[in-house]
Structure 1
Amino acid sequence: MGDLPHEEFGNKTPLEVAETPKMDFLAKTGKTGLMYTIGKGIAPESDVAVISILGYDPFKYSTGRGIIEAVGADMKVKDGDLALRCNFATLGPGRQLIDRRAGRNLTTEEASQLSKSINRLVTLESYPVEFEFKNTIGHRGVLVIRSKREPLSGNITNTDPAYLKVEGLGVAKEKVEMVLEKCQPLDETIEAKISAKLVNEFTEKSHEVLEADNVNRRRTAEGKPKANVILSRDAGHLLPKFFNISEKYDVRFVSLTDMPVERGISKLAGMDMAVLPPPSADLKNDCTIRVNKLLELLPNYDCFYIHIKGPDEPGHDGEFERKAKLLSIIDKYFFEKLLDEIKLENHIICVTADHSTPCKLKAHSDDPVPLLISGNKIKGDKVSKFSEKECRKGSLGVLEHGYELMPKLMDLLKKQ
């Protein structure tokens, strides 16, 4: 949702250009501010940002996105297993990457067939292990490597050139060199060295299998980029020890999420989870499904975590107008229906984002995200619009860390 001003659009952000009367209403009648989800100077990945927003200090609780995605994808994973978030990508001559997401048009059927080929034809021989590769949504996947001997280590680098590990957290690079990277150990332990070697072996052998697969022959014939290499990142080997969020705050918490990373976080945090279809190209329908599910479950739960991914992709693709349009759709098809069906004075609504994805950068940035809290007995800041610029004027000020937010929300809930 968050972005930066663009000169060609009157120095406005997509959120300022978008038609968002319902979110604007919530901002005018509520308190607003800005929030660094991880901290200043850190462009976070979604997993650590969501962990933080839900009240967990990511430097204390995060053990790697790979483990969380494996849990969210319903894969068997335990301490000592090596789990990595993966992308199907397009590799050109040498180690030159052409597209980190294989054109964003890989179908579930194609990804499933490619995954089956990998699992059937690739054998890892550098250490006694078994592995499982699972496609999840679109170009995304998860790799789990299970050792038959000593535990493996997630303290290794990414092969995906867009992200770094900083103090154990996944962080987006400001500039990306489109080259397939070699996995390297980040310490001198034998476990890290073996794990890095296994990832490199998997990358090379799966590339050979993918290159020869009929799926990629068809994609080439259709003028589509091949999905001929697996990029991996955010390795982990320990399950995170989250406190149970419902027990900690004595509430009934449910998540309405559809991506493996958010589902994994929800499961590990002890939330109930609503069953939702994966996100589609029809954001109007996606929003309608989600708001209807929320209204259906409203009598049964106290707190809802709802994650709508729509505006992130046009940020990555540099599509300002499309991002603004999707924000308008969310306002109309999610928030309008929600506010029509509930009495705001009986509820508290918080709207924010896990990170900024400026269209200029086509990547996550370290900019703070807009934040609003509205409803119940909250006195409004009377800002003119829900936007980055207006939220800066709000009474919430600038939160230095996302994990400051949840205690504030729980305090407001208790005062109802």
Structure 2
Amino acid sequence: MKFVALIADGMGDWPVESLGGRTPLAAARTPAMDALAASGLVGTCRTVPEGMAPGSDVANMALLGFDPARHHTGRGPIEAAAQGLEAGDDDLIWRMNLVTVENFGPDGTMRDYSAGHIATPKAAAIVAALKERLDDATFTMHAGVQYRHLLVQRDAAAGSDAGLCPRPPHDILDRPIAQDLAEYAKNPALSRLVGEAAGLLADGMGGAIDCGAANAVWPWGQGRPLRLPRFEDAFGLKGAVISAVDLVKGLGRASGMEVIDVPGATGLLDTNYEGKVDAALEFLKRGDFVFVHLEGPDECGHGGDAAAKTESVRRFDSRVVAPMIRALADEDVVFLVTCDHLTPIALRTHHGDPVPFLLSWRGCPTPSGLAAFTEETAASTGLRVEPGHTLLAWALAQAGAAGR
């Protein structure tokens, strides 16, 4: 038996006025997901434990079957694992965004958490230039993908920097940054680095580089290096992850899964859907479990664009879910389709409400018979799986795949 987990990041939402009171999932045309829902089980799952921030790091860790309350140390360490970045047990690893800030200072405002969705080559040049000027014995920068980068703070065991709480930049769009700068100020060396970076970016490193919309760096999500059990040992399945974003790759690499890179996978609405499907199908020839992650709905949610989010859900259904169903029609396969968390258009950031999910396999003894897969229909069944990290084991048991 093969197991296919299809994850549309941030797909869940609340009713949107511009969509006639429907959510993007309800407004989108999704015949493939609807068919799976009708033939399988549908319910909700709380992927974010109480008291933890509703981020993709926490929620995707739970979807992969690992308890975030036990294993999660921060966003930065997960992305460091994706890069194979070596760090000591006493180091702190910060996620570091390139961002756009209006008036970097106590009166400043966060305008864009992604510096205009900066392209990777330009971002790499910027981080390299900052690294040359600002790296020292304590802090080192490491370039990642698009706006997502890393800052390693060496030998931080003696300090309290693990407890600093600068907010994720996507949580404070068009909001003041004074309280976050006050957090940085608790570590004078970190505060100095952030301030000097803003100065360098403001004038393009003295005119040497076109920095585009990137005029500040934003460290956040810090933690000690990530240690996870091996996925195959935990579930008896040879698994792989397919995603454009480092945090999902990091979870896969940290748990010993195969991490498959797909050319043209952007994490946006224009990603290489067909390439992800082809890569998943190729892996299933030699493996048992594939976790295919699409970032587009989340990015559209952060942008507050209901029409684009609806389109991202439609594309997920027509260009990922449907072709996977067709290609595996003659196989003994289990489909789990869900999202990691909600990214409501009204909030433009994540929310920890339970997410809708569907679980479908040939011969499901109690199919839901639902006409559509939406947040509302999922909640209406009364089926609730929590804590979220038990969803995968529950799904395997339901489909009779445990231990195969």
With normalisation by structure 1, the TM-score equals 0.85
Taking the aligned partners of 1:217 and 1:328, their CA distance within structure 2 comes to 43
- Counterpart of 1:327 in structure 2 is 313
Pair 392,150 (structure 1): closer, same or farther in 2 beyond 3 Å: closer
- Counterpart of 2:3 in structure 1 is none
Q: How much does 1:316 deviate?
A: 0.6
- Counterpart of 1:122 in structure 2 is 134
- Counterpart of 2:394 in structure 1 is 408
Pair 288,153 (structure 1): closer, same or farther in 2 beyond 3 Å: farther
Taking the aligned partners of 2:174 and 2:45, their CA distance within structure 1 comes to 23
- Counterpart of 1:236 in structure 2 is 223
Tell me if 1:301 matches 2:308.
no
- Counterpart of 1:168 in structure 2 is none
Pair 153,74 (structure 1): closer, same or farther in 2 beyond 3 Å: farther
Query: Any stretches of 5+ residues in structure 1 without a counterpart?
Result: 164-171, 186-191
- Counterpart of 1:156 in structure 2 is 163
Q: How much does 1:83 deviate?
A: 0.7
Q: Please identify, of 203-212 and 256-265, the stretch whose mean Cα deviation from structure 2 is larger.
A: 203-212
Tell me if 1:81 matches 2:91.
yes
Q: How much does 1:357 deviate?
A: 0.3
Partner amino acid for 1:206? A
Equivalent residue of 1:182, what SS?
helix
Tell me if 1:212 matches 2:203.
yes
Taking the aligned partners of 1:2 and 1:234, their CA distance within structure 2 comes to 23
Taking the aligned partners of 1:54 and 1:398, their CA distance within structure 2 comes to 18
C-alpha contact 1:114 1:215 (8 A) present in aligned 2:
no
Q: How much does 1:400 deviate?
A: 3.1
Q: How much does 1:161 deviate?
A: 5.8
C-alpha contact 1:253 1:303 (8 A) present in aligned 2:
yes
Tell me if 1:246 matches 2:215.
no
Equivalent residue of 1:199, what SS?
helix
Q: How much does 1:80 deviate?
A: 1.1
Tell me if 1:388 matches 2:375.
yes
C-alpha contact 1:87 1:100 (8 A) present in aligned 2:
no
- Counterpart of 2:7 in structure 1 is none
The alignment covers a number of residue pairs equal to 389
Equivalent residue of 1:85, what SS?
strand
C-alpha contact 1:47 1:65 (8 A) present in aligned 2:
yes
Aligned-CA RMSD value: 2.8
The percentage of counterpart residues that share the same residue type is: 25
Q: How much does 1:36 deviate?
A: 1.3
Equivalent in 179, 195, 199 of residue 190 of structure 2 = 199
Pair 178,71 (structure 1): closer, same or farther in 2 beyond 3 Å: same
Q: How does 1:17-416 map to 2 (within 5 A)?
A: 17-39=27-49, 44-93=54-103, 94-95=105-106, 96-124=108-136, 129-147=137-155, 155-160=162-167, 162=169, 176-179=175-178, 181-182=180-181, 184=183, 196-213=187-204, 225=213, 227-237=214-224, 239-277=225-263, 279-280=265-266, 283=269, 286-343=272-329, 346-378=332-364, 379-394=366-381, 397-411=383-397, 412=399, 413-414=401-402
Taking the aligned partners of 1:7 and 1:76, their CA distance within structure 2 comes to 47
Taking the aligned partners of 2:54 and 2:172, their CA distance within structure 1 comes to 10
Partner amino acid for 2:277? V
Partner amino acid for 1:77? A
Equivalent residue of 1:313, what SS?
helix
C-alpha contact 1:156 1:184 (8 A) present in aligned 2:
no
- Counterpart of 1:167 in structure 2 is none
Equivalent residue of 1:307, what SS?
strand
Equivalent residue of 1:39, what SS?
coil
Pair 102,388 (structure 1): closer, same or farther in 2 beyond 3 Å: closer
C-alpha contact 2:297 2:309 (8 A) present in aligned 1:
yes
Q: How much does 1:230 deviate?
A: 0.7
Taking the aligned partners of 1:100 and 1:7, their CA distance within structure 2 comes to 24
Taking the aligned partners of 2:191 and 2:330, their CA distance within structure 1 comes to 53
C-alpha contact 1:344 1:376 (8 A) present in aligned 2:
no
Partner amino acid for 2:341? H
C-alpha contact 1:255 1:306 (8 A) present in aligned 2:
yes
Taking the aligned partners of 1:275 and 1:82, their CA distance within structure 2 comes to 27
Q: How much does 1:73 deviate?
A: 2.4
Pair 353,201 (structure 1): closer, same or farther in 2 beyond 3 Å: same
C-alpha contact 1:345 1:377 (8 A) present in aligned 2:
no
Taking the aligned partners of 1:341 and 1:215, their CA distance within structure 2 comes to 54
Query: Any stretches of 5+ residues in structure 2 without a counterpart?
Result: 1-10
C-alpha contact 1:83 1:236 (8 A) present in aligned 2:
yes
Q: Please identify, of 349-358 and 111-120, the stretch whose mean Cα deviation from structure 2 is larger.
A: 111-120
Partner amino acid for 2:165? N
Taking the aligned partners of 2:183 and 2:268, their CA distance within structure 1 comes to 40
1:257-306 Cα shifts (integer Å, max 9, x gaps): 22111111111111122222363387466110010111111121111111
